Structure 1
Amino acid sequence: MEYVRKIGTKIKLYSELVMFSHTLFSLPFAVISMVWAAEGLPSLRVMLWALVALVGARNGANAFNRVVDRVFDAENPRTAHRHLPQRLLDAKEVLLFVVINYAIFIFAAAMLNSLCFILSPVAIFLISSYSYTKRFTYVCHLYLGFTIASAPIGAWFAVTGQFAFTPFILGTIVMLWIAGFDIIYGSQDIDFDRSHRLWSIPSAFGLKNGLRIAAGLHFIMVLLLIALIPIRHLGWIYIIGIILAILLLMTEHKIIKPANRKRMNVASYNLNQVISMIILFCTLCDYFILK
């Protein structure tokens, strides 16, 4: 029983380490992409291996980021409680976890099709290199969004094995959305970033300008969501979803208060998880009911 308890504790620690609940940011758009690519439900095999690939890539990238940033996390009062600074997990052990997850990702990509397999090392390079961008450029937020945008793009490739225009629109939407709320979240660390020579839009342009940039990115994101209506021949259920998403984005920007960590978590994470699920639900309902 003690051995089982230890395994359970380890699983819990790694789940917290990679923030597994944050899969809700990328997974809904990947599902939308797969449904559109398959013109209906994709095969169970494709859905299974695409999900395995998504989870493997995401877990590996998040764990790698925690290893790379462990020194800064230990010095930042906001992040000093994380697993590596607290030595709840060992860096070498986490790197092994990274390797295992990337291997799972490559294997899953190979099980999908040759295009996914060929692009898998490129994907690993992109999602891993994000961890270093905050050391030299304030566009790190956009780069983060760019890496997560690989979810809907990769999901399309998983189904069709071909390039197309639609998944890149979805990917751009995800990139702008993620970058916007990452700027909001990063506004909590303006002083720390400046004192440690770390780059971010809030530390480079100040709080007010940084939040304006975040709002601008979300505005363009909404325009692209609207642009999908004629491109994908979407109906009123999808439009309702976009309206609800806009209202939640407006709420997100209204409640921002960097000094209040609880409020920032709601603005940066909780509301955006709801947004992604609303878009997923309304898009799928629109497709399958109004098709």
Structure 2
Amino acid sequence: MTTTPPTGTVADAQKDNWLDRFAPDWLKPYGRLARWDRPIGFYLLFWPCAWGVGLAALAQPQFGFGFWAVALMFVGAILMRGAGCTFNDIVDRDIDMQVARTRSRPIPSGQVTAREALYFLIAQALLASVVLFQFNRFTVWAGVASLGLVAIYPFMKRVTWWPQFFLGLAFSWGAIVGWTSQTGGLGWAPVLLYAGTILWVIGYDTIYALQDIEDDALVGVKSTARLFGANVRPAVAVLYSGAFVLWNGAAVAAGGGSVFAVLSLVAAGLMAWQLWTLDADVPKNPYDRFYNNHYVGIVLTLAFLADWVW
């Protein structure tokens, strides 16, 4: 079996991405570990943070929309997603070697060693902590609490058919962080937002996992894509529907009005399109439907912002 040369690209990265084109050769393997060549991951980690901030603006409109907090959380999402992916690649390096889509990643392809990846992980975590400490004490502790969820996720695919649920717990945590950064506490509204976002993450990562379903079966990796089998479309439809209902419940609980409800229908339409056009037998089809959730994130952020302005 051949491996990717040190300057080679990762199989599932977009061709001619900015990292491969402009970064110095010594930085490229580390950027690939952090998935800088695939920004969709930190977008999907970031959007729940923006939703939490937007939800807080509905609950306390006199304080406004926390644009500075959103900017800090965007930087934090890049760093924490990078740290999480680096940790995941360290843990999964043996599995990644056996899966066609992942064997070109930096560790299994020999671009970096596991020890070098660990040092990079620590550096990203330290920078993320600098961002986190810009917020109030409650939010700092909420951010620290998320580390446990990040740590256990890579192991779940070995022990449960629901690793996407544990990804949802971690990737949705930004909804809690965003809310607490503005309010300094919790409430039912952010809990509903968090629960709905967990369902959304399970849904979109199930679609993403369709890309690896054959290799996962050979290696013995579990996923909701394998669990649902031929029923992936209706199962994800239930998850997305639950997410939509809970998101709107969160907006109502925070004092939102009809503006959010109407604009959120655009997000519902995007998710419906994903399922209507999903075809796991067509190359890149599942990935494109997964990526479409970036636009779901944009739409809901604008819906929260518009409802606050109104």
TM-score by length of 2: 0.81
User: Given the alignment of the two structures, is residue 217 of structure 1 paired with residue 236 of structure 2, yes or no?
Assistant: no
Quick check: which one's helix share is greater?
1
Q: Which amino acid aligns with 1:79?
A: T
Higher relative contact order (CA 8 A, sep 6+): 2
Aligned equivalent of 1:62: 85
Aligned Cα root-mean-square deviation (Å): 2.5
Alignment length, in residue pairs? 283
Output the CA distance in 2 between the equivalents of 1:54 and 1:230.
27
User: Given the alignment of the two structures, is residue 42 of structure 1 paired with residue 66 of structure 2, yes or no?
Assistant: yes
Percent identity reads: 20
User: How far apart are 1:15 and its partner, in Å?
Assistant: 4.9
User: Given the alignment of the two structures, is residue 101 of structure 1 paired with residue 124 of structure 2, yes or no?
Assistant: yes
Q: Secondary structure at the match of 1:216?
A: helix
Identify the match of residue 293 of structure 2 among 256, 272, 278.
272
Output the CA distance in 2 between the equivalents of 1:37 and 1:272.
22
Deviations 1:116-137 (A, max 9, x none): 3334443112112101100000
Identify the match of residue 20 of structure 1 among 23, 26, 39.
39
Aligned equivalent of 2:8: none
Aligned equivalent of 1:254: 276
Aligned equivalent of 2:222: 199
User: Given the alignment of the two structures, is residue 228 of structure 1 paired with residue 247 of structure 2, yes or no?
Assistant: no
Output the CA distance in 2 between the equivalents of 1:228 and 1:125.
25
Q: Which amino acid aligns with 1:56?
A: L
Identify the match of residue 105 of structure 2 among 82, 85, 91.
82
Question: Which has the larger displacement, 273-282 or 207-216?
Answer: 207-216
User: Given the alignment of the two structures, is residue 5 of structure 1 paired with residue 41 of structure 2, yes or no?
Assistant: no
Q: Secondary structure at the match of 1:16?
A: coil
Deviations 1:226-273 (A, max 9, x none): 32353234344423322211111111012222222311111112x111
Identify the match of residue 32 of structure 1 among 15, 40, 51.
51
Q: Check the 8 A contact 1:18/1:63 in 2, yes or no.
A: no
Q: Check the 8 A contact 1:238/1:283 in 2, yes or no.
A: yes
User: How far apart are 1:43 and its partner, in Å?
Assistant: 7.1
Output the CA distance in 2 between the equivalents of 1:200 and 1:35.
32
Output the CA distance in 1 between the equivalents of 2:263 and 2:80.
28
Aligned equivalent of 2:307: 286
Q: Secondary structure at the match of 2:279?
A: coil
Q: Check the 8 A contact 1:32/1:284 in 2, yes or no.
A: no
Q: Check the 8 A contact 1:28/1:280 in 2, yes or no.
A: yes
Q: Check the 8 A contact 1:57/1:124 in 2, yes or no.
A: no
Identify the match of residue 155 of structure 1 among 156, 167, 178.
178
Output the CA distance in 1 between the equivalents of 2:118 and 2:269.
40
5+ long unaligned stretches in structure 1 = none
Aligned equivalent of 2:208: 185
User: How far apart are 1:60 and its partner, in Å?
Assistant: 1.0
Output the CA distance in 1 between the equivalents of 2:124 and 2:147.
11
Taking a change above 3 Å as real, the CA distance of residues 227 and 184 of structure 1, as seen in their structure-2 partners, is same
Deviations 1:140-181 (A, max 9, x none): 111101111111101222223212222222211211111011
5+ long unaligned stretches in structure 2 = 1-22
Question: Which has the larger displacement, 92-101 or 19-28?
Answer: 19-28
TM-score by length of 1: 0.86
Identify the match of residue 145 of structure 2 among 112, 118, 122.
122
Output the CA distance in 1 between the equivalents of 2:174 and 2:251.
21
Q: Check the 8 A contact 1:177/1:217 in 2, yes or no.
A: yes
Q: Check the 8 A contact 1:202/1:211 in 2, yes or no.
A: no
Taking a change above 3 Å as real, the CA distance of residues 192 and 13 of structure 1, as seen in their structure-2 partners, is closer
